[in-house]
Amino acid sequence: MATAMDHALRGPAFQPSTSRASSFPGVSAGAATPSSPASTPLSVGATEPSTGEAESVTRVSPDQTLTCFLCRGSLKDARVLPGCLHTFCFPCLVQHTRGSLQFHCPFCSEAVDLGENGSLENLAANPFYNMFDSSNLTEPDQSLRRPTGPLGPPHRPGPVGPAVAAYPTSPPGTIPSRLNGPHALGPHALVNGLASPLTARDSSNPWSGPVDAGPERHSDLAWLKKPESIWKSSFDLGTTLVSGTGDGWRHIPSHPKGAWPVQGPLRPTPESRDLMTGVAPSGSSGMGPGAPVCQSCDERHTVTSRCRDCNEDLCDMCVVAHQRVKLTRDHVIVRYPERNSSGTTLPIHSALSGSTGSSSCRSPPTSSSSSGSHVVQSADVMRVYADAVEKAKGDSDRLIVQAKHDIRQIEDTKGLVNDMEKRINARYQSVLQEIQAITRKYVTVLQEREKVLLMRLDKIRTVKLNTLKDQQNMMEMSLCRLGGVTEQLLACNGSGREMALIDTCNKAMETIREIRFQCGGATPHEDEQIEFLAPDPKMLQTLSNIGYVAGSGFAPLSLAEGDGLKKAILGKDVRFQITIKDQLGEPKLSGSDPVKVVVHAPDGRPVRTSIFDVQNGQYRVIWKPNVEGEHIVSVTLKDTHVMDSPFKVTVRAGRNYSSIGKPLFIFGSQGAQNGQICRPWGVCCSKEGLIFVADRSNNRIMVYSKDGKYHHKFGTSGKLNGQFDRPASVCIDRMSRLIVADKDNHRIQIFTLEGEFMDVFGEKGSKPGQFNYPWDVACNSKSQILVSDTRNHRIQLFSPQGEFVSKYGFEGPMWKHFDSPRGVCFTADDQAVVTDFNNHRLLVVKADLQSAQFLGKEGSEDGNFTRPNGVCVDEEGHLIVADSRNDRIQIFSSSGVFIRKFGIKGTGPGEFDRPSGVCISPDGHLIVVDFGNDRVQVF
C-alpha cells in the first residue's frame, strides 16, 4: 500500500525536514563534516539539498556509544558487568580487576562479585557492540554513504532519487541517567541484551505500524543484505511466538537468565519488529478497534498479551521488558488472539504478519524519522521492575503479618522451651536428691547392720581370746606346781628319809591329779571358728538393681517398622508397629506417649489412621488407603519425626483375578543345562524379583531374573553342607536368607541369596527337631521357620537359628488332622496355611499352633481338591492353592470363599500337569511351577 514513506523514497522533490536533536548520549547536534571520518561523531540536524549537485557525504564512524569508558577507544570483545549492566573491553577489565573476583564498576562504582568459581571469561558478551563492531561501519566505505541530513543508514543514489532513512529517537527523559556512559543506547535498542534493528514507520502517523517498502525499496536497501550487516545477527525474535492450545492462547516462553535463544541468522519479521519496537501494528495486529491499552507503561500501546502470574495485560514492549527483569522473567505470558478491524479473530500467520501477509514483509524495512517511533529501552525495564516491586510490596504486607505471627509463635515456643529447660533441670535436681536420699537410707541401714555384725564379731573374738588367755595362765601355774613337786621328790629320795618320801609322793600324786583335772587335755580351750551367714544372693541382686531411672520417649531413637511402611493395597488395611525408646536408647516400659501418625494421599488429603497403645512402649497402627499412588506416612513423637520418618508408601490397586488364565510368560524346560529344570516343586521370590526354583531331580537351586531369564544356580548332589538330595522347596525370610527343604537328606539348609552356605539343622527321626521327608518351608513375620514334616504327619516351627519352638499334628488328640502335609505358608497375622495332601483339604492353623480350621474336601467341584500341593497368600489375603491332580489353580478369599479357578490338563499356555509350588512376586504376579511340564508359568 502507498504510504508517506513510499512517496518519500520515490518522489524526486523529497525534501527531508530538519530533525530534532537526538536524545541518545554521545550524539551531538550540528552539521556533519567530511573531515576526520574516523573520529567525527555522527551528527543530526543538517539538511540535504534538493538539487542534483554532488551530495555532502560523511563517512560512518562509531559514536561515543561504541567507546570503552576505560581506554576511551572502540569496544573490543565487549563484556557486560552483572548488576549495573555497564559494558567494557575485556582486556580493560582484566587490567582493571588485576585478577580479583570482587571489584567496583569503573563507571558507577557498583560492587561486582563474580563468586568463588567465577571469572571474567564467564561474563556475558554484549552482542550489540560486538555486532556493530563486526559490521565494518568503523572503516570508510564508498558504498556506504548518507546525506548530511537526519541521522540514518547510508544509501546509494538511484534513478528514483536519493533514499533517506532515520534512526528513531526516544523522547527526552525516557532513558535513566544511570544508562548514560559506556552502555547508553545508541542507534539500536537492546532486546534481552541483543541488538535489535529498528522498524520503519510512517512519519505522518507516529503510532502507525511498519511500512511495507515494496520491491523497489527493498532493492535499494541491498546494503542490508551484506554478510557483515547486523541484520544477519544470530537470533530470530520470531521464534518467541509459539502457537498454543486450541483455546486461542499462544504462549510466549520466557528464557532463563534473560537471554533469547540463538537459532541461526536474524531474519527480521513483522513479529520480531513488533517485539523490538514495542508498538503493535496499527489496524491489523493487536485486538482490533476499541481494544484496551496497556496499563503497565505510559505509552498507551494496545494490549497484546497477559501475564498469568501477575494477572496483568501487557503490550509487546512490556512483554519484552517483562522477560528481562529477574523477578518476572520466569512468568508465563500468553498472547491474546489477534483480531482485525471488524473484531473477528485473524489466523495466526495473518495476525503475526501485521497486514496482508505479503512475503515482502519478511524483508527488513528502513526507518523513517518520526517522533512517535519508540524502541525498547531500559526505562521500560525499570517501569516493569517498579511494578514488580510495587506488587511485591503489596504481597509483603500479608507476608509481614504472617511473619509477625510466626515470630510471636516462635517467641512463645522459645519461652516454652526455656520453661521446659528449667523444669527439666528442676526435675533433675529433684530426682538427684531422691536418689541420693534413698541411697543414703540404704547405706545407713547397711552401715547399722555392719556395726551390729562387727560388734558381734569383735565380742566373739574377745571371748575366744580371753578363754585362751585363762588357759595360758592356768598352764603357767600348773607348770610351777609340777616343778615344785618334782624338786621335793628328788630331795626326799636322796635324803634317805623313807616317811618323808612317802608323804611327798602322796602330795605329788594329789597335785598332778589336780593339775590334770584343771588343764584337761593337751588342746586349746577355743578354736578359730567364727561363722558368718551371708545374705541371700537375690537380695544382693535386688540391691544392685534398686531403683530405676528412665527418660521419656525420644523420637530420633524410636522406630517404626512393618510392611505398612513399604507397600499397600488400595482399600485394604495396612499395619505397622512403633517402638518408643528413651534418651538412653532403651525401650520404654510404659505407654501414653504423644505419638502421632499422619498419612497424606497423593491428592494431599489426610488418611484416617488408628493407633493402639499396647502400654509397653509399643503401638500398633492401622491405616487404609483410598487412592492409588505414593502416600507419605509421617510418624512423630512430640512433633518430631521418628527414625527414617517420613516414609514413602506406594499404594496400588489389588489384583483382579477375574481375567486370570493367560500367562504373561513361560520359562524353563526339561533338562540339566543352565536354565533347564527337571521335576521342580517349590518356588519363591526375593524382594528384588529374583525367582528361586527347587530343581528337585537335578539336586540344585535354579535362579532366574524377574523376566524368567537364567541368572545363576548352586548346589550339587550329596550329603555335605551345601549339597542336596532332591530338594523340594525354598523360601526367603526377612533377613534375606534362603531356606531350603533338603527333603531326602531330612534336614533344612540356610544359604545367602548368592548360594553361600550359612547353617543347617535337623536329622531323620520323629523327635522334636527331627524330620521324615520335610517337604515345604515358610517364614513368618518373626523369621521363624515352619516345616511340613510330611511322613511324621505334622508341621514344626523353629526359631531363625533352627531351634525347635512348637509343633502341630500327629501327637495331638486329633492326630488325623494331617495325612502327609505338603504346602505351607503364612497369612499376614502369622497364621499357618497348610495343604493336607491325602485328606484333600486346606487347613488354617492359629499362630499358637493349638487349633485349626478346615476348608474343602476331595472332589473336582469348585472349592474341593484332589491332592493339593503348594499354597500361598497374596497381599490382599487371597488364598491361592495348587490343586495338583485336578490340574488347576483355585483362588479363595481370606475367609475361604471360592473366587475363581483356572487351568486344565495340558501342555499349552495356561494349562498344567500337576502344578506344585506357587508364590507371589513383588509385582503381584502369580508364579506357578508346572511340575509335570518341567516349566514355570507367570500370570
CATH code, domain carrying 599? 2.60.40.10
Residue 307 lies in a domain: no
Q: Which residues contact 245 (CB under 8 A, 6 or more apart)?
A: none
DSSP letter, residue 37: T
What pLDDT score was predicted for residue 849? 86
Rounded to 5 degrees, φ, ψ at 463 are -60, -45
Closest CA to 715 of 760, 749, 684, 667: 749
Instruction: Show the cell assigned to 740.
Output: 531350603
Q: Is 472 found in the same domain as 429?
A: yes
Q: What is the pLDDT of residues 546-589, one digit of tens each?
A: 888 888 889 999 999 888 898 888 888 888 999 999 988 889 88
Angle, to 10 degrees, between the axis of helix 498-519 and the axis of helix 378-495? 160
DSSP E strands, 392-547: none
Q: Is 680 found in the same domain as 641?
A: no
Distance CA 43, CA 28 (A): 6
Residue 175 lies in a domain: no
Q: Is 825 found in the same domain as 735?
A: yes
What pLDDT score was predicted for residue 772? 92
Q: Is 841 found in the same domain as 916?
A: yes
Residue 269 lies in a domain: no
Type and span of the H or E element at 316: helix 316-322
The string of DSSP codes covering 641-691 is E-TT-SEEEEEEPPP-GGGTTS-SEEE--BSSSTT-BSS---EEE-TT--E
808-817 contacts at long range (C-beta below 8 A, 24 or more positions apart): 808/832, 808/845, 808/849, 808/850, 808/852, 817/843, 817/852
Type and span of the H or E element at 480: helix 378-495
3-state secondary structure 592-613: CCCEEEEEECCCCCEECEEEEE
Among residues 65, 94, 122, the one where a domain terminates is 122
Q: How many CB atoms lie under 10 A from the CB of residue 891?
A: 18
Instruction: Show the cell assigned to 445.
Output: 541401714
Residue 198 lies in a domain: no
Closest CA to 193 of 81, 342, 73: 81
Q: Is 594 found in the same domain as 563?
A: yes
What pLDDT score was predicted for residue 349? 37
DSSP letter, residue 750: E
The string of DSSP codes covering 189-210 is EEETTEEE----B-TT-TT--B
Distance CA 170, CA 193 (A): 18
Residue 876 lies in a domain: yes
Residue 647 lies in a domain: yes
Q: Is 642 found in the same domain as 511?
A: no
Distance CA 843, CA 313 (A): 74
- Determine the straight-line distance between the first and last CA of the chain, rounded to whole angstroms: 74
Q: Is 716 found in the same domain as 638?
A: no
Q: Residue 407 burial by CB count (10 A; 0-12/13-18/19+): exposed, middle or buried?
A: exposed
CATH of the domain at 778: 2.120.10.30
What pLDDT score was predicted for residue 58? 36
Among residues 494, 519, 544, the one where a domain terminates is 519
CA 730 → CA 143, 433, 570, 715, 757, distances in Å?
Answer: 92, 60, 29, 13, 14
CA 279 to chain centre: 48
Closest CA to 363 of 564, 546, 217: 217
Distance CA 187, CA 149 (A): 15
Rounded to 5 degrees, φ, ψ at 699 are 55, 50
What is the number of domains present in the chain? 4
Closest CA to 601 of 621, 622, 629: 629
Residue 253 lies in a domain: no
The residue to which cell 522498524 is assigned: 199
The whole model's pTM is what?
Answer: 0.48
Q: Is 492 found in the same domain as 570?
A: no
Q: Which residues pair with residue 210 across a beta bridge?
A: 201
Distance CA 319, CA 380 (A): 10
Distance CA 198, CA 224 (A): 12
Q: Is 625 found in the same domain as 562?
A: yes
Residue 160 lies in a domain: no
DSSP letter, residue 259: P
Cis-peptide into 727, omega within 30 deg = no
Q: Whole domain around residue 82: which residue ranges? A: 78-122
Q: Residue 465 burial by CB count (10 A; 0-12/13-18/19+): exposed, middle or buried?
A: exposed
Q: Which residues contact 328 (CB under 8 A, 6 or more apart)?
A: 307, 309, 310, 322, 384, 388
Among residues 582, 617, 652, the one where a domain terminates is 652
Q: Is 443 found in the same domain as 501?
A: yes
Q: Which residue type is seen at 150?
A: P
Q: Is 803 found in the same domain as 869?
A: yes
DSSP E strands, 94-214: 102-104, 111-113, 189-191, 194-196
Q: Is 646 found in the same domain as 771?
A: no
Which residue ranges of the chain lie beneath pLDDT 50?
1-65, 131-288, 340-377
